[in-house]
Structure formats: C-alpha cells, structure tokens
Amino acid sequence: MAVVRERRQVNLRLPLPDLSDRCSRFPLPLPPSASTTAAAASASVTISQTELEKLQVLGHGNGGTVYKVQHKRTSKIYALKVVNGDSDVTVHRQVSREMEILRRTDSPHIVRCYGTYVKPSGDVAILMEYMDAGTLDTLLRTRGTFSEPELAHITRQILKGLTYLHAHKIIHRDLKPSNLLVNKNMEVKIADFGVSKIMSRRLDPCNSYVGTCAYMSPERFDPDAHGGNYDGYLGDIWSLGLTLMELYVGHFPFLSPDQRPDWATLMCAICFGDPPTLPQGASDEFRSFIECCLQKESSKRWTASQLLDHPFLRSHPTSD
Ligand SMILES: Nc1ncnc2c1ncn2[C@@H]1O[C@H](COP(=O)(O)OP(=O)(O)OP(=O)(O)O)[C@@H](O)[C@H]1O
C-alpha cells in the first residue's frame, strides 16, 4: 500500500512567468464553439505567446497555476496552465504527460488544447479552451446538489469522454468533480491528465499508485489484495460512481458531511467497508447505475460504453 498523494502548495509570491517570443510558435485554432470538431480545430492561425495577455488567476493545481488569458488580436479568451521551471521533477513529469495526452485527444468531451509552450528556462505552459463555469466541484459548492435529470446530462458527457479515452488506451486515473470542467452551456469536459496513463496495449495491467486517493477504487488503493495489478479502465468507472454520488448528496460519499478525510479512515472505508449507496428518494434507475459503477470487485463493474446504454440514461434521453 502506498502513500497518499499530497497537494503541493503553490508559492503565490513567485513572479508570473514571462512567456517570451523566444518560445516556439504554435498553431492556434479558431476559437472553440459549442460543437467543436476536429475540422474546426485544424483550421488554425499562428500566434506568438506575447499575444496572450493574462487577465486573472483561475486556479492553482498540483504544481501549476491556470490563468484566464486573452488573445490580443482576436480578443478570444483561453485558459493557460503554467508550470514554473523550478517546480520539482514530479510536477514536470505530470505536465509533460498532460501535454502529450492533450495533443493526442480530439473529442468534444475532453478539454481542447490549442498549443504547448516550453521555454529554455524550463517554464512550461498549455493553452486550453476556457471553460467559463469552472468545475463541477465549484458548481456543487456554489449552487448546490444536482437533480437526476441534470446528472444524466452530465453523466452522458463524461461517459462519452471516457469511452473516447479508453478506446484510445488512455486511463484518466484522477476523475473527480474538480477535474471536470463546465461551461455556461452545461457542457462538461474531462481535464487534468497529469497522472493519466497511456497503455501500450488495451489490457496491460496497472499497478502504480497515483491520483487522488479518495476517489480510488479498492484495487487501486490496495493492489496487493487484488493480485498485484488491476484493470485501470474500471478504476475510472469507480471514480465516476463516487463523483456522481457526491454531486447528488453534496458531500464525499464515504464520509459524513462534517467528517474530515484522513488516510486511515478512507483506506478502511474503501477497502473494508461496503460501497456507499444512494439515500431514499433516488430512482431505481439511478440506484442501479451507481451500483454498476461502485462494485468492489472490478470485473463486475460496467464499462463506459456499457453504461452509456444503462436504463438511467435511457430514462433521461437527450434533446439532441
Ligand atoms: N480550461 C480551463 N478553463 C477554466 N478554468 C480552468 C481550466 N483549467 C483549469 N481551470 C481552473 O484551474 C484550477 C486548477 O486546475 P489544474 O488542472 O491545474 O488543477 P486541479 O485539477 O484543480 O488540481 P490537481 O492538479 O491537484 O488535481 C481548476 O480547479 C479550475 O478551477
């Protein structure tokens, strides 16, 4: 059993990195629309980094800072994730992995990347589409819990993103409300690929311990008790189940609302306790959907593409 990943405290007093013209130039696609397509993304113009003006800090992550930036010439808004050159090696490894995955992906359900920048000083940045409603975590805190129809809409989008990733042999490994970005049209996109894994084959086993432990499946928390390795794709499904439950009940499902998470409590609850269940009032379809995700034995969990056809989603058809 490995250690809990700690969130690095970002030093707010560090000067903002100056992304100068010495950096390589990257193609900047046309601004994203509600239905961004690969064709739209490939219709690109080129800008220099000095054409990006920082407007405000959107948030801090594990080693990086995300800024809202404006492309001066077109006034279009983007998000720029910046990691300083003096960050530790783990942070650089994570941002490199994130850049590699974002460059490979092309899906309306994955946050779109418009360029990556690497300076000789080691400063690294990723230019992404700006999601103007923040994350599902911030929405939960500001506007409260989500209804079943809202969750069905959210779930369908996450599952389409996961189906895309898994078909491309990418395991996210850190799915949680704060890694799901939202815009004002309630489009939900999967983000933050710092601890994701690209498999060389579809069924390669996983055995590394990275990600946010609270959302880890029992077999990821304690691989030794599960034969030393596990199917990482099904680990994403467990995290999805916990994420949806949290959005429905308003707090992390394994803990009561006022309980502080600590590693020992979490470990016992996830590895030795029963999976959490929905409170009274939830529909049978939603209850069944959550059960299909939160099976302790991973082989009993449904895959992302199977879940897309679950009665819970069929009972809330899309308008499109
Ligand atoms: N494309 C984006 N559009 C709008 N806001 C964003 C975007 N990307 C990130 N953010 C904001 O910046 C914050 C930090 O994002 P980042 O991916 O660096 O880390 P995180 O997911 O919050 O944390 P960690 O890396 O520890 O998992 C997010 O929580 C979100 O509020």
- For position 208, what pLDDT does the model report? 58
Whether 12 is in a domain gets the answer no
Q: Do 186 and 269 reside in the same domain of the chain?
A: yes
pLDDT at 202 over 80: no
Q: Do 85 and 211 reside in the same domain of the chain?
A: no
Among the candidates 103, 129, 155, a domain finishes at: 129
- The whole-model pTM stands at 0.83
Strand partners, 66: 59, 81
Whether 141 is in a domain gets the answer yes
Q: Which atom of ligand 1 is nearest to the CA of 137?
A: 29
Which residue, judged by its Cα, is nearest atom 26 of ligand 1? Answer: 62
Which segment, 6-20, 91-105, 230-244, is predicted with the most confidence on average?
A: 230-244
For 26, the 3-state DSSP assignment is strand
Q: Which DSSP string do the residues of 155-180 spell out, in sequence order?
A: HHHHHHHHHHHHHTTEE----SGGGE
Whether 13 is in a domain gets the answer no
Give the total number of structural domains in the chain.
2
The structure tokens 């710092």 sit at 194
Whether 268 is in a domain gets the answer yes
In this structure, the dihedral spanned by the alpha carbons of residues 237, 238, 242 and 244, taken in order and rounded to 10 degrees, is 20
In this predicted model, what pLDDT tens digit does every residue of 158-180 receive, in sequence order? 999 999 999 999 999 999 999 99
**129, 30 contact by CB (below 8 A):** no
Among the candidates 129, 150, 169, a domain finishes at: 129
In terms of pLDDT, which residue wins out, 85 or 114?
114
Q: Do 164 and 302 reside in the same domain of the chain?
A: yes
3-class DSSP string for 231-296: CHHHHHHHHHHHHHHHHHHCCCCCCCCCCCCCHHHHHHHHHHCCCCCCCCCCCHHHHHHHHHHCCC
Whether 30 is in a domain gets the answer yes
Residue 230's CATH number: 1.10.510.10
Q: Residue 108 and residue 80: Cα distance in Å, rounded?
A: 19
Residue 79 φ/ψ, nearest 5 degrees: -115, 135
- Ligand 1 pocket mutation pick from 58, 114, 136, 176 by most atoms within 8 angstroms of CB: 58
pLDDT at 216 over 90: no
Going from the Cα of 165 to the center of ligand 1, the distance in angstroms, rounded, reads 19
**41, 27 contact by CB (below 8 A):** no
Whether 74 is in a domain gets the answer yes
Report the pLDDT averaged over residues 237-245.
97
Q: Do 118 and 169 reside in the same domain of the chain?
A: no
Q: Residue 28 and residue 128: Cα distance in Å, rounded?
A: 10
Q: Which residue among 174, 192, 231, 236 is the active-site one? A: 174
pLDDT interval class at 6 (50, 70, 90): very low
Domain that holds residue 79: 19-129
- Residue 81 labeled ligand binder: yes
Q: Which atom of ligand 1 is nearest to the CA of 111?
A: 1
Whether 100 is in a domain gets the answer yes
Among the candidates 85, 108, 129, a domain finishes at: 129
The question of whether 106 is a catalytic residue gets the answer no
Q: Do 117 and 259 reside in the same domain of the chain?
A: no
